Amino acid sequence: MKLFDMTGAPNPRRVRVFLAEKGIDIEKVQVDIMEGENLQSDYLSINPRGVLPTLQLDDGTIIDETTAICRYFEETTPSPALYGQDAKSKALIESWLRQIESDCFTPTADVLRNSNSVFENRSIPGTNNTPQIPALSDRGTDRVLAFYSRLNKHLANSQFLVGNAFSMADITAMCTIDFAEYVGIAVPADLSNLSKWREKVNSRPSAQA
Amino acid sequence: MKLFDMTGAPNPRRVRVFLAEKGIDIEKVQVDIMEGENLQSDYLSINPRGVLPTLQLDDGTIIDETTAICRYFEETTPSPALYGQDAKSKALIESWLRQIESDCFTPTADVLRNSNSVFENRSIPGTNNTPQIPALSDRGTDRVLAFYSRLNKHLANSQFLVGNAFSMADITAMCTIDFAEYVGIAVPADLSNLSKWREKVNSRPSAQA
């Protein structure tokens, strides 16, 4: 089994943190997205979509999409549960996961992919050759800040994103907010609940994975 | 328990088809997105994000996001399994689900939300008041057609999206492609595997839910 990975990219990091929380160690192969290695024939022969992360099972099956890879390991190594333990917590974790992705990850990626010349004609991950849309970059920061405000309110009454258990929602929020910081969007100083939660999750050993 | 729903909108339909496959019947309350009812105070007092579908549990808990609602019912009513039965099928269903959403649903919604005057300042679902970006509409159709071509190839060797079992991936693809047709993006006539699969899934009783 092999994970095609890129240190420094936010989605591969989500998988690495998830694996660290589960205590799973697997072979990792680095593929450099900034250098376009994911769009070269070596990698496309493994994953024709040209996206990362990708998990290759021992039987050759290719599984891409971050959450698909993590759900594979949630089944094979159920403890600690990172997608919830009952119907309600599973639903709320999935809901927060989707909200982080749509309201924070996507606008952050919109900023990076539609303003940085490295991503010219690569405004959407993969092999689709899509031109940049500067207006997407322009609106991204406001959307992220609106999400931070909402999340800060939510964290006033909750130790983690869903109750008292660290979950895939926390992993995704941590990796996304660190990604936004890298892109130049800082967490406003007055959002103290959010800042405290960030310190807490980033101090877990898994955060260094 | 109550589902806030809109007949005719693609995400609420995904939930209704999912419930029909499970044989679950719950109270439904109609909220008209085209008329902006989802952004009025009555609905915002239930779900401040202003998005649909939303599930309200008997204890008052609000669960939004289509896949979160469906995963709730996958836990409470496990049979028939619609998110897979083992680690590999669960991962592959999640992967296809994400691919349909990112490469087909999002560009279809981009076309509708960035070209139709009903969605002026509502280019993103919910309360965020986001102006339209016409370039997003322009690129949407090409992205959908590229996905159709990929899906057609995949269906040459697969009865359903993931192997021989109908799943949430099929529900999502069916609702998304019907949505794209409504928006004006037809499935090209030469994609016969895709057309046969569409007939098959649309002839299930659940498709009428």
What is the per-residue pLDDT across A45-88, written as a single tens digit (0 to 9) for each?
Answer: 999 999 999 999 999 999 999 999 999 999 999 999 999 999 99
Domain B2-76 maps to which CATH number in 3.30.360.10, 3.30.590.10, 3.40.30.10, 3.90.1150.10?
Answer: 3.40.30.10
List C-alpha distances in Å: B149 to A35, B157, B193, B195, B199. Answer: 28, 14, 10, 11, 17
What are the φ/ψ torsions at residue B161 (nearest 5 degrees)?
A: -60, -40
Place of tokens 């159920």: A78
Tokens representing A203?
A: 């101090």
Range A87-208 has CATH code 3.10.20.30: no
The alpha-carbon gap from B78 to the nearest alpha carbon of chain A, in Å, equals 11
Q: What are the structural domain ranges in chain B? A: 2-76, 87-208
A103 by Cβ neighbours in 10 Å (0-12 / 13-18 / 19+) ranks as buried
* DSSP sequence for A11-72: HHHHHHHHHHHHT---EEEE--TTTTGGGSHHHHTT-TT--S-EEE-TT--EEESHHHHHHH
Tokens representing A64?
A: 């891409």
What is the per-residue pLDDT across A95-128, written as a single tens digit (0 to 9) for each?
Answer: 999 999 999 999 999 999 988 888 888 888 888 7
Q: In this complex, do A133 and B130 lie within 8 Å of one another by their Cβ atoms?
A: no
In this prediction, residues B14-24 reach a mean pLDDT of 98
Find the helix or strand (DSSP H, E) in which A147 lies: helix A134-154
What is the per-residue pLDDT across B140-172, written as a single tens digit (0 to 9) for each?
Answer: 999 999 999 999 999 999 999 999 999 999 999
Residue among B91, B131, B146 whose CB faces A69 most closely: B91
A134 by Cβ neighbours in 10 Å (0-12 / 13-18 / 19+) ranks as exposed
Residue among B95, B97, B145, B157 with most chain A CBs within 10 A, to mutate: B95
Q: Which residues of A touch B72 (CB under 8 A)?
A: 87-88, 90-91
Q: Supply the ipTM of this predicted assembly.
A: 0.96
Q: What is the pTM of this model?
A: 0.96
The alpha-carbon gap from B50 to the nearest alpha carbon of chain A, in Å, equals 13
Q: In this complex, do A68 and B135 lie within 8 Å of one another by their Cβ atoms?
A: no
| pLDDT given for residue B128 in this prediction | 79
